[in-house]
Amino acid sequence: MAPAARAQPKPYPIDLAVSDCLEVNSSTAGMVQCLQKGYEKWDEELNKQYKKLFSRLNKEQKAALQATQREWMKFRDLELAYLTELYATQEGTLYRISLASEQLELIKKRALVLEKHNELLDMK
């Protein structure tokens, strides 16, 4: 097996559920709905990882995490507003799917960062 193939991470259950949903929902509305459900599930995962991480940190680390998360949430809101405005100027239904996909990836990335920090603490 090639090194790149071995380095591929195992798919997350949320991503598998989104893929399964997309396979049976080929309409634009169906695909957007699948991606929005994925966004909601990744948001739940983000909150789960945040709470787990927060409970494991010392006082100074908790304060730093809270500050970082507040700023990330501001960034998230601004990024979502920007993406909505950007895609609103595009014609065609494909752009609705692209917008939903970018929204999902934004929240997923943050959830995975918090998961990685929890894994770091697991190595102690």
* Residue 94 within a domain: yes
pTM of the prediction?
A: 0.89
Q: Is the predicted pLDDT of residue 43 greater than 50, yes or no?
A: yes
> What dihedral do alpha carbons 27, 23, 114, 103 form, nearest 10°?
-10
Cα separation, 39 vs 108, whole angstroms: 8
Residues of the domain holding 51: 27-122
Tally of domains in the chain: 1
**What tokens appear for 31 in the block?**
């695909």
Question: Tell me: the pLDDT tens digits for 100-122?
Answer: 999 999 999 999 999 999 999 99
**What tokens appear for 86 in the block?**
């950007």
* Residue 88 within a domain: yes
Whichever domain contains 108, its CATH number is 1.20.1270
| Integer angstrom CA distances of residue 65 from 26, 41, 59, 100 | 40, 22, 10, 27
